[in-house]
Structure 1
Amino acid sequence: MPVVRLADGDLNYLLEGPAGAPVLVLSNSLGTDLHMWDAQIPAFTQHFQVLRYDTRGHGASLVSEGPYSIEQNGRDVLALLDALDIAKAHFCGLSMGGLIGQWLGINAPERIQRLVLCNTAAKIGSDEVWNPRIEMVLRDGQAAMRALRDASIARWFTAEFAEAHGDKVEPIVGMLAQTSPEGYAANCAAVRDADYREQIARISAPTLIVCGTADVVTTPEHGRFMQQQIAGAQLVEFHAAHLSNVEAGDAFTQALLDFLKA
């Protein structure tokens, strides 16, 4: 896969779709990689040049020394756009990717056309949630990642979906088991420390907020708070847990296309 050389390592990316079409950037969740969007690619590439990448610490991208910050991850996106000579793009991020999208919307509004914030919040979790997880992962390494893989099924998917669609669930949770423990822990710290509750009202891009009705990590209440803060923001809910792009599938894809093409 192609890479962009950053100051401290390589950022892995894929650019697909018709040259000259508007660019849509897809940003992965904590513990996954750019393949979490595979189901969306056939439909999205009919209308957009789709740029997806592995966030620092994930997939085939660099694993630099942590902790990371969402600002650092956001600046990686800007470096990627600069390297590919993309002045402005639509941006869609899920969970951690949604935090990156918020940072970009607040701090680099001139680069963002339309913004989609999926299964995310202006503030995700607390020190009490994140610090023990960081400690466990740094202590137990890949064994901890395998344990998190099993625990994540219940957080990422509803029970009925996980039971009925193992073929869709297994590749996604497999990404978590393969994620670098150091990269994962460094990004846990980035998510822990991000708090945009006082800043998201500065987002001016047209914004769509996507929620899962069964998401216990970033709840519909979190989504409604963001909608109230961001002028003109739209909100859509799907019967899904945390990874609504996988669980809601075609309905998710169509809702994003309707918004991005409006």
Structure 2
Amino acid sequence: MGRVQLAEGELNYQLDGPKGAPVLVLSNSLGTDLGMWATQVPAFAEHFQVLRYDTRGHGQSLVTEGPYSIEQLGGDVLALLDALHIERAHFCGLSMGGLIGQWLGIHAGSRLNSLVVCNTAAKIGEPSVWNSRIETVLRDGAAAMAGLRDASIARWFTADYAQAHPDQAKRITDMLAATSPQGYAANCAAVRDADFRDQLGAIRVPTLVIAGTEDAVTPPSGSHFIQEHVAGAEYAEFYAAHLSNVQAGDAFSQRVLAFLLAQQAV
């Protein structure tokens, strides 16, 4: 683990893989931390320096007063790259991490070698849903986070996967219960306010879009929309709910690797 000092506090990160290899940044979903990518690291680290980090408001990173914005969270990624003297990197983000990836592709494409956005959309959910969740979390604190953890199993995993892999489901959902209520609510606002539907055409870097067939949070229709509006974007879909990287596991890793290595070969 390492720490990068931002103006308002520290951003927690972990770097794995061979020094000198191309860098791959992994960005977590709302309510998780860098540990959500544990399944992918062994495969990815054979070819890349894998840079995982806890998004502001999550894990061991800074928690500042909200609301946050995706622009702010994207700025944190650029600050992390600058602090580690990384000029360009591949970027892979899931859900909220996918929104951050879209922002980077639109506004900082010169810093990206390629972009992978997973289980996300150019706009996620309706404001009323996010506002209600923000209100509940700020009012009830840790109790609300525990309730969200219990409800998230059905959103994040299919029922058959959760039943067959209870330890894995618990490992991931426990991250949600441990997330700062203030940080979670501030990030909910960032997701609520993000809308890149009219800006996707500005993404010019090679892009892979990944969806889960059973994802009720960000259905495949939203992923198809991104693919259709980003020139040359590739598409992949797995039997999974919202956290396809966890549920699809090695198949997810190999598809992402095939895409990344193809970009390295260009």
User: Scaled by the length of structure 2, what TM-score is found?
Assistant: 0.98
**Cα distance in 2, alignment partners of residues 76 and 171 from structure 1:** 26
* Residue in 1 that maps onto 2:22: 22
* Residue in 2 that maps onto 1:222: 222
**Cα distance in 1, alignment partners of residues 86 and 143 from structure 2:** 40
1:128 CA displacement: 1.4
SS in 2 for 1:30: coil
1:138-174 deviation per Cα after TM superposition (whole angstroms, max 9, x unaligned):
0000000000000000000000000110121110000
* Residue in 1 that maps onto 2:184: 184
> Are residue 149 (structure 1) and residue 146 (structure 2) matched?
no
SS in 2 for 1:39: coil
Name the aligned partner's letter for residue 166 of structure 2.
Answer: G
SS in 1 for 2:47: coil
**Cα distance in 2, alignment partners of residues 101 and 113 from structure 1:** 12
**Cα distance in 2, alignment partners of residues 64 and 11 from structure 1:** 11
Alignment of 1:94-173 (within 5 A): 94-173=94-173
**Cα distance in 2, alignment partners of residues 247 and 261 from structure 1:** 23
Name the aligned partner's letter for residue 196 of structure 1.
Answer: F
1:186 CA displacement: 0.1
Q: Runs ≥4 in structure 1, deviation > 3 angstroms?
A: none
* Residue in 1 that maps onto 2:68: 68
1:205-256 deviation per Cα after TM superposition (whole angstroms, max 9, x unaligned):
1000000000011111001000100000000000000000000000000000
**Cα distance in 1, alignment partners of residues 16 and 127 from structure 2:** 38
- CA-atom RMSD in angstroms: 0.4
Which runs of no fewer than 5 residues in structure 1 stay unpaired?
none
**Cα distance in 1, alignment partners of residues 8 and 244 from structure 2:** 33
User: Percent sequence identity over matched residues?
Assistant: 70
Name the aligned partner's letter for residue 107 of structure 2.
Answer: N
* Residue in 2 that maps onto 1:3: 3
**Cα distance in 2, alignment partners of residues 175 and 230 from structure 1:** 32
**Cα distance in 1, alignment partners of residues 9 and 87 from structure 2:** 23
**Cα distance in 2, alignment partners of residues 180 and 150 from structure 1:** 16
Which runs of no fewer than 5 residues in structure 2 stay unpaired?
none
Return 163-172 or 137-146, whichever deviates more: 163-172
* Residue in 1 that maps onto 2:175: 175
SS in 2 for 1:261: helix
**Cα distance in 2, alignment partners of residues 171 and 109 from structure 1:** 34
Q: Matched residue pairs, number?
A: 262
User: Scaled by the length of structure 1, what TM-score is found?
Assistant: 1.00
**Cα distance in 1, alignment partners of residues 45 and 166 from structure 2:** 26
